[in-house]
């Protein structure tokens, strides 16, 4: 019996381009980004694997995803909120778990991520994001344009709590700080 065939990709494959997914203006006027290569992006079953590079000092809002999510720090270091995560750190995020703000270390960071379901994100705690940006002397820039698959909408600009959400589409609450979220609320990263 013959089933589906494996797919092989290499980081240098031309069909796996770097994409800027988040951007900020640093205190010195330079621009920092989160860069991602989407190695696998499947609609059925939904999953996404990402090879990500964070420029030094890059800040990403506190957020969660509409699926279980695993992050492995390959190089450099990042902080997830108050938790410093050097190379070799494995982070498991069950459905409904939020993490961050994410702040890349002075040499940046390289991560490998797997989202096992809808990879879009929901954000919460905008005050923590603003504080992390201020600590870096940075300000967010508009999200760079992305080429999403036709079956997934780019809705990165939404924050949790900004629109009413049907009960069936809310994120499981794991703490009082976790807000209800709109599944149309984000992107990978």
Domains of the chain: 19-169 (2.60.120.10)
Q: pLDDT tier at 4 (50, 70, 90 boundaries)?
A: confident
For 19-61, the pLDDT digits (tens) are 999 999 999 999 999 999 999 999 999 999 999 999 999 999 9
pLDDT of amino acid 148: 83
Say whether pLDDT at 171 is over 50.
no
As a whole number, the mean pLDDT across the chain is: 84
Say whether pLDDT at 18 is over 60.
yes
What is the C-alpha radius of gyration for the chain, rounded to an integer number of angstroms?
A: 16
Residue 34 dihedral angles phi and psi, to the nearest 5° = -105, 125
CA distance 40 to 13: 13
pLDDT of amino acid 127: 95
pLDDT of amino acid 159: 55
């Amino acid at each position: 019996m013959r089933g589906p065939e494996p797919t092989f990709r290499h980081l240098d494959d031309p069909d796996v381009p770097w994409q800027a997914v988040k951007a900020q203006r640093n205190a010195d006027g330079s621009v920092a980004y989160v860069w991602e290569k989407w190695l696998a992006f499947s609609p059925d079953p939904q999953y996404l694997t990402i090879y990500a590079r964070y420029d030094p000092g890059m800040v990403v809002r506190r957020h969660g995803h509409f699926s279980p999510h695993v992050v492995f720090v390959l190089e450099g270091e990042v902080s997830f909120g108050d938790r410093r995560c050097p190379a070799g750190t494995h982070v498991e995020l069950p459905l409904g778990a939020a993490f961050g703000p994410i702040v890349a270390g002075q040499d940046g960071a390289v991560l490998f991520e797997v989202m096992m379901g809808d990879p879009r994100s929901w954000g919460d705690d905008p005050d923590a994001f603003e504080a992390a940006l201020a600590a870096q002397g940075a300000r967010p820039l508009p999200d760079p344009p992305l080429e999403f698959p036709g079956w997934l909408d780019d809705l990165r600009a939404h924050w949790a709590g900004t629109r009413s959400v049907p009960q069936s589409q809310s994120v499981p609450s794991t703490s009082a700080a976790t807000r209800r979220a709109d599944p149309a609320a984000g992107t990978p990263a």
